[in-house]
Amino acid sequence: MSYTINLTEGIMTFTIDRPHIRNAINDEVTMGLEELVEKAQHPSVRAVIITAAGKQAFCSGGDLSVFHALRTEEQAYGMLKRMSEVLYSIKTLPVPVVAVVNGAAVGGGCEIATACDYRLVWDHAKCGFIQGTLAITSGWGGGTYLLETLQHDKALQMLSEAKVYTASELKESGWASAIIRSDQDIIDFFKSMKKVHPDVHRAYKEMAIRKWQKTDLKERVEQEVRRCAILWEKDAHHDAVDGFLNKTKK
């Protein structure tokens, strides 16, 4: 199984469990996230955590060994659209969603974390929207969410530099909500959250969702997906992915 879902004291935790491939997303993990979205609707759930196994990576994005088989714009669109719908559902869950970024988050991994309300970033983690190095843009909605989250120039810079940043740089830009140095820091974060009644958290989340609905967030994500699919089909992208897969196999 590539993931686990666990509910403890009202906190539902989704853990991607593919550390050998740096917790890259395949169809099974996508299905798992869809299951999470359904389960997290239960009234007993007061918060959701998304994290991953091991210390090396939170998520290295789409599993390129699988998704590299998608050659055309239409094929890419199907995969990107499905993941964008999952991330939109996660973003609009009625409770706070917290990414515990236990290691590197790159490409789609950074998009998943950006779809969450809070990002608790371990001090050793490096994160970035590195899609530009593969001659594509973000394609799961993460670029649109980043522009909602950070000051405009910081978001645009993070997207177009296509590089990874340290935890302290991520805190400075506003992407990381907090830097985590021990498990106790995570416990303390949730202890503080639990001081306030779950209905209050739900009410504030509703407020945020109303804003996203009014500003056509879903339609903006759709445009991101379509633009990425166009770039995906081009040789520049396929050549760059060949380069990554061949380099790591050497």
Q: Cβ closer to ligand LP2KCY5N: 124 or 154?
A: 124
Write the Ramachandran bin of 56: left for phi over 0, alpha for psi from -120 to 50, otherwise beta.
Answer: alpha
166 binds ligand LP2KCY5N (CB under 6 A): no
Q: What count of residues does the chain have?
A: 250
For 128-159, the DSSP string reads: E-GGGGGT----SSHHHHHHHHS-HHHHHHHH
Q: Does 108 bind ligand LP2KCY5N (CB under 6 A)?
A: yes
CB of 17 to ligand LP2KCY5N, least distance (A): 14
Q: Find out whether 144 and 224 touch, Cβ atoms under 8 Å.
A: yes
DSSP state of 19: G
Secondary structure of residue 101 in the 3-state scheme: strand
Could you say which of 134, 146, 159, 176 contacts ligand LP2KCY5N (CB under 6 A)?
134
Task: Tell me, letter by letter, the H, E, C secondary structure of 218-232.
Answer: HHHHHHHHHHHHHHH
Q: Which is nearer to ligand LP2KCY5N, 49 or 112 (CB)?
A: 112
Is 141 a binding residue for ligand LP2KCY5N by CB under 6 A? The answer is: no
For residue 169, give both structure tokens. 């740089």
Among 15, 92, 102, 138, binds ligand LP2KCY5N (CB under 6 A): 138
* Residue 233 exposure: Cα atoms within 13 Å on the Cβ side: 11
Question: Which residue in the set 32, 96, 107, 128 belongs to the binding site for ligand LP2KCY5N (CB under 6 A)?
Answer: 107
Radius of gyration of the chain (CA): 17
Binding to ligand LP2KCY5N, residues 7-66 (CB under 6 A)? 21-22, 24, 56-57, 60-65
Among 3, 77, 122, 140, binds ligand LP2KCY5N (CB under 6 A): 140
Among 41, 182, 215, 248, binds ligand LP2KCY5N (CB under 6 A): 248
| Nearest C-alpha neighbor of 132 from the set 152, 162, 177 | 162
Residue choice 40, 50, 106, 217 for contact with ligand LP2KCY5N (CB under 6 A): 106
Site residues, ligand LP2KCY5N (CB under 6 A): 21-22, 24, 56-57, 60-65, 67, 104, 106-108, 111, 130-131, 134, 138-140, 244, 248-249
